[in-house]
Amino acid sequence: MLIEIPANVNSAIEALLDAGFDAYAVGGAVRDCLDGRHANDWDIATSALAQQTKEVFAGKRVIDTGIKHGTVTVIINGEPIEITTFRIDAGYSDNRHPDSVEFTKDICLDLSRRDFTVNAMAYNHRDGLVDIFSSQEDLKNKIIRCVGDPDTRFNEDALRIIRALRFASVLGFSVEENTAKSIRKNRLLLRNVAIERITKELCRLICGTNAAKITSEFKEVFTCIVPEFESGINGQAPVILSRCKPCAEHALAALLLDVPDAAPEVLRRLRLSNKFIALCGTLIKYGKTDLSALSKSEFRKLAGILSEEYFSELLSFQKAVFPSFDENLFSEAKKIFENGECVSISGLAINGKNVSDSTGAKGVQVGEILSLLLDCVLSEEIPNTTEALTEKAKALYKEKNHD
C-alpha cells in the first residue's frame, strides 16, 4: 500500500530515517489518504527526542512548539511541519491534559495512547502502514471506535467525547456501540473542558454531512453542552440541518430557531465572535418569517433592514426551513440590490431637513413622516423623487396636524 506523502513532509521523514531514527506520518492525514480524501494537516511522530530532532534539522528554522511534550516545528521550504517524539501519557487529573509524559522508542506504544482507531495508524515509505488496531477495517466499515477502553479514553481527555461525534458527522461514519455507550455515560465530563474548545468542535460537527443523524442520536450530549438545543433537536432542527448549507451560523440557527429569546445569550455563552452572532442572530430572528408570503413592499422593506449579504444568507437559510420555498425570491432580491432600489429611509430622495423645511415639522414628527414616505415608495404609491416626496410630506403633515 502506497500513500502519497507531500514532498516537504516526506523529506523530513527521510532526514530522520537517514539519521537512524524511526519516523512516520501519523493521525488524520494517514486516515484521510486511506479513505480517499484530501489530507491537509500532516504530522510526524519520531523516536528522536526533541533535541535530537533539532540537531537533524540544524540547518533549518526550528520552533519549540511544545518542547516539554516532545514537539518541535520545522520550517521546510516555508512550510511548518510538526514533529513529535513517540510518547506515553500518564495521569489525566483534569480530564484534559496528561499529568506527565514519558518518551518511548516504540511507535506501537505511541499509537496506543491515541483517541480513535482510525486516527491510530502510522506510515512511511520504508515500513509501510503500521496498523495494530484493525484501523483499516474500521475505516472500511465507516466506524468511530476508541483505542482500547472508551471510558479510559474519555476520562483522559473529555474533549474526545465531542471529537468522536465530530468525526462521525464530518466523515459520515457511525459510532461503535461500546464507544457510543461510553459517550453518553461520560458526557458530563465535558463540563471540565473550556467552552472555546467545545465550540470549535461543535461548529465543525454541525456542518458535517451526518450532522442531522448525530444530533438526533446523541441528543443528551448536545443538551449537556447547550440545554436550549433540546426543543430544536426534538423539533425540526435535524431536518433543517440535513437541508441547510454547511455553515456553522446556519446550523446553529437551525438548532436555536425554536428559542429565539434565549438564542442571544446562548451564542454569547459559546464565546462566538460578534460577526458570527450578528449573522446567526439575524437568521434566528427572521428564520420563521415566510418571505414568500410577504407583500412586495414588505419584502423590500426587510431588504432595507438587512444588508445585501445578510438578506442573501436569510434566503439561503429559509430554503432549508421551508420545503416550498420560492426560488424566485433570490432573483427578486438580487434585482433590488443591483438596481439600487430605495428600500430604506437613507435611500429616499429627501432627508429630515428637507421635510422640516418644507412642512415645518419638528423632532419626532420628522421621523414619522420619513417612515410613512418610505412605505409609500415601497408600495409604489409615489415615485422616489424630490418633488413627489415633498408634496406627500406636506400632505402627511397636514393630516397629522389636522388630527
Q: Determine the Cα–Cα distance for residues 21 and 10; give it in Å rounded to an integer.
A: 14
Is the alpha carbon torsion for 124, 127, 133, 139 positive or negative?
positive
CATH of region 142-225, choose from 3.50.20.10, 1.10.110.30, 3.50.30.50, 3.40.718.10:
1.10.110.30
Question: Chain-wide mean pLDDT for the chain?
Answer: 93
Mean pLDDT of the 379-395 span: 90
CA atoms within 13 A on the CB side of 228: 18
Instruction: List, for residues 270-321, the tens digit of each pLDDT value.
Output: 999 999 999 999 999 999 999 988 988 889 889 989 989 999 999 999 999 9
CA atoms within 13 A on the CB side of 95: 16
The model's pTM = 0.88
Predicted confidence (pLDDT) at residue 400 exceeds the cutoff of 90: no
Work out the pLDDT band at 341, boundaries 50, 70, 90: confident
Predicted confidence (pLDDT) at residue 388 exceeds the cutoff of 60: yes
pLDDT of residue 69: 87
Q: How is residue 306 written as a grid cell?
A: 438587512
Predicted confidence (pLDDT) at residue 97 exceeds the cutoff of 80: no
Instruction: List, for residues 159-192, the tens digit of each pLDDT value.
Output: 999 999 999 999 999 999 999 999 999 999 999 9
Predicted confidence (pLDDT) at residue 91 exceeds the cutoff of 60: no
pLDDT of residue 215: 97
CATH hierarchy code of domain 230-341:
1.20.58
Predicted confidence (pLDDT) at residue 343 exceeds the cutoff of 90: no
| CATH architecture entry for 1-138 | 2-Layer Sandwich (3.30)
Instruction: List, for residues 221-245, the tens digit of each pLDDT value.
Output: 999 999 999 999 999 999 999 999 9
> Please, are residues 117 and 135 in contact by the beta-carbon 8 Å criterion?
yes
